[in-house]
């Protein structure tokens, strides 16, 4: 029998063995893959992850990427998120990665993300499961666009949010207002819930907790943001399950929303249906609200562009009766507004990069991407590349004038390939309609020096406080 003294004597040897194992496992991929792109691995275990995640303004690359691109080129190796990684800041390689999903590369988000999103989330499932869920997402988008009430619902909610500011004393936290708007739109389309219903406020409160944990350190200890996020997801799931059960019991009273489309399919289990609803809420909530906040932030710093946007929307409103709603034809006329949205996405870089994994050894030009290595295509590095976008760090919406400027390989704010965000166009419609009523009713300026920061997910540290001044009564 081993005594306590023997264990004490053996402890240094055990510790040394663990350290050697850690060091060898960290640096062994460097020795086994000498033809991988140049780069560095940093310290064992943590690698260079902390430097990679150092907060920085989203219209800059940040010190990590600037340093590594200058030393190793636009494609380099590193050790990030506990695994050897090839980082791509190259437009052509990023496109190659996105277009070869499931053939050469595979979605590979860190395990803690799975713990919050759930194993059935469309963001993390692979292969045929992802294809099946994506087809449903496309059906959601198609059915939503075909609904006669869709544009009217967006405008009604925008008027409700903007109208509520008239009694707020001239100061609002804009990110909160944008979240209310985006969330109200998506719960209306998916669950037929209005902003006034108590269950809507309950889901929104849990979603705020959920989002804070999604971008937190993955420590599942009671009281931590990560643990609270897991609990919030469980509560949202329970609420959605309750809505599904009520809908099934009231089969004779079908509502005009996507939940009925979802309930009519036999392709998904109940767990997958609940997870799909959560994915839809997440996709239509966070990125859409942040996109609107980015537009307001950049326009608040550019009087010239704001004036052009106001003139465009005044022209559209001048052709309509006082209470007449916006139409799809009006949306098509919002050309400069679309340039502003595209430029806010390019400068704001809401989605900086995505996680992929090489399924086999891949040769691309002079690079070897070893099998099993993580691959990070960095969209922000392409969006901010001065050789692709002149004065890349400057907000210049006029750069998008001309045919097909917003659909090229050098602009991927919504990803690409088979994982291209299916709701991207709907998000732009929401932003444009909201902006229509904002610029016709209010002037604004940023209150203080709040700027967006990448943590790595982009957010405004103070929630973008703005001072507003009414222009006229509601349109």
The structural domains of the chain, ordered by start, are 31-111+352-408 (3.30.43.20), 120-192+255-347+413-474 (1.10.630.10)
Cα torsion for 118, 86, 98, 109, to the nearest 10°?
0
Considering 62-66, 135-139, 257-261, 269-273, the range whose residues carry the highest mean pLDDT is: 62-66
User: What confidence tens digit (pLDDT) does each residue in 77-98 have?
Assistant: 999 988 999 999 999 999 999 9
How far, in Å, are 57, 347, 396, 431 from residue 460 at the CA level?
Answer: 10, 14, 21, 18
Q: What is the pLDDT of residue 215?
A: 63
Q: To the nearest whole number, what is the mean pLDDT of the chain?
A: 86
User: What confidence tens digit (pLDDT) does each residue in 131-187 have?
Assistant: 888 888 888 788 777 777 889 999 999 999 999 998 777 889 999 999 999 999 998
Contact partners, residue 223, CB within 8 Å, separation at least 6: none
Q: Which region among 220-234, 285-299, 314-328, 357-371 has the lowest average model confidence (pLDDT)? A: 220-234
Q: What is the pLDDT of residue 14?
A: 62
Q: What is the pLDDT of residue 293?
A: 97
Cα torsion for 109, 115, 119, 122, to the nearest 10°?
-50
Considering 62-66, 142-146, 267-271, the range whose residues carry the highest mean pLDDT is: 62-66
Asked whether 128 and 254 are in contact (CB, 8 A), the reply is: no
Q: What is the pLDDT of residue 23?
A: 57
pLDDT category of residue 435 using cuts at 50, 70 and 90: very high
Q: Which region among 116-120, 250-254, 393-397 has the lowest average model confidence (pLDDT)? A: 250-254
Cα 72 from Cα 414, distance rounded (Å): 27
Q: Which of 458, 208, 234 is nearest to 346 (CA)?
A: 458
Q: What is the pLDDT of residue 56?
A: 94
Tokens of 45: 């275990």
Cα 242 from Cα 261, distance rounded (Å): 17
Annotated binding site: 421
Q: Which of 41, 109, 26, 91 is nearest to 357 (CA)?
A: 109
User: What confidence tens digit (pLDDT) does each residue in 283-322 have?
Assistant: 888 889 999 999 999 999 999 999 999 999 999 999 998 8
Q: Which of 286, 258, 283 is nearest to 422 (CA)?
A: 283
| pLDDT at residue 406 is higher than 70 | no
- Per-residue pLDDT, averaged over 256-281, amounts to 80
- Per-residue pLDDT, averaged over 379-400, amounts to 95
Element (H, E) at 252: none
Q: Which of 258, 181, 254 is nearest to 422 (CA)?
A: 258
Q: What is the pLDDT of residue 233?
A: 86
SS3 228: helix
SS3 119: coil
Cα angle at 136 between 130 and 138, to 5 degrees? Answer: 100
| pLDDT at residue 474 is higher than 50 | no
Annotated binding site for heme: 421
SS3 338: helix
Cα 105 from Cα 297, distance rounded (Å): 36
Tokens of 102: 């499931």
Q: Which of 67, 164, 327, 263 is nearest to 319 (CA)?
A: 327
Tokens of 363: 């040769």
SS3 416: coil
Tokens of 323: 């209470």
**Residues above pLDDT 70, as percent of the chain:** 89
- Per-residue pLDDT, averaged over 65-81, amounts to 95
| pLDDT at residue 251 is higher than 60 | yes
- Per-residue pLDDT, averaged over 258-274, amounts to 80
SS3 436: helix
Q: What is the pLDDT of residue 109?
A: 84
Q: What does the DSSP 8-state code read for residue 444? A: E
């Amino acid at each position: 029998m081993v005594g306590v003294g023997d264990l004490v004597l053996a402890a240094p040897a055990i510790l040394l063995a663990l350290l050697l194992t850690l060091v060898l496992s960290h640096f062994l991929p460097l020795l086994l893959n000498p033809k991988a792109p140049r780069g560095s691995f940093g310290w064992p275990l943590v690698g260079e992850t902390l430097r990679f995640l150092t907060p920085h303004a989203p219209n800059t690359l940040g010190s990590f990427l600037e340093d590594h691109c200058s030393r190793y080129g636009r494609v380099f190796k590193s050790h990030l998120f506990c695994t050897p990684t090839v980082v791509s800041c190259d437009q052509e390689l990023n496109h190659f990665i996105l277009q070869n999903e499931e053939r050469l590369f595979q979605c590979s988000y860190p395990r803690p993300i799975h713990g919050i999103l759930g194993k059935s989330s469309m963001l993390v499932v692979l292969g045929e499961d992802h294809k099946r869920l994506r087809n449903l997402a496309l059906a959601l988008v198609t059915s939503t666009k075909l609904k006669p009430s869709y544009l009217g619902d967006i405008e009604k909610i925008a008027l409700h949010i903007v109208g509520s500011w008239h009694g707020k004393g001239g100061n609002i936290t804009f990110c909160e207002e944008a979240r209310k708007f985006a969330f109200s739109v998506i719960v209306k389309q998916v669950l037929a819930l209005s902003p006034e219903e108590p269950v809507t406020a309950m889901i929104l409160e849990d979603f705020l907790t959920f989002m804070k944990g999604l971008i937190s350190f993955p420590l599942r200890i009671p009281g931590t943001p990560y643990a609270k996020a897991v609990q919030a997801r469980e509560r949202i799931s329970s609420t959605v399950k309750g809505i599904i059960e009520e809908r099934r019991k009231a089969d004779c009273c079908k509502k005009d929303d996507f939940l009925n489309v979802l309930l009519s399919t036999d392709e998904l289990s109940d767990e997958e249906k609940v997870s799909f609803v959560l994915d839809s809420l997440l996709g239509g909530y966070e990125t859409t609200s942040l996109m609107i906040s980015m537009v307001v932030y950049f326009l608040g710093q550019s009087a010239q562009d704001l004036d052009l946007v106001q003139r465009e929307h005044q022209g559209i409103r001048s052709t309509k009766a006082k209470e007449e709603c916006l139409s799809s034809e009006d949306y098509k006329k919002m050309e400069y507004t679309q340039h502003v949205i595209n430029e806010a996405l390019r400068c704001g870089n809401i989605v900086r990069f995505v996680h992929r994994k090489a399924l086999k050894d891949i040769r691309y030009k002079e690079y070897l991407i070893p099998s099993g290595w993580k691959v990070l295509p960095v969209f922000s590095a392409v969006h901010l590349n001065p050789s692709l976008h002149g004065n890349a760090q400057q907000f210049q919406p006029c750069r998008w004038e001309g045919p097909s400027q917003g659909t090229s390989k050098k602009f991927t704010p919504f990803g690409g390939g088979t994982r291209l965000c299916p709701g991207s166009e709907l998000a732009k419609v929401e932003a444009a309609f909201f902006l229509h009523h904002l610029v016709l009713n209010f002037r604004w300026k940023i209150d203080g020096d709040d700027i967006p920061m990448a943590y790595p997910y982009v957010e405004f540290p103070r929630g973008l406080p703005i001072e507003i001044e009414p222009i006229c009564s509601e349109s």
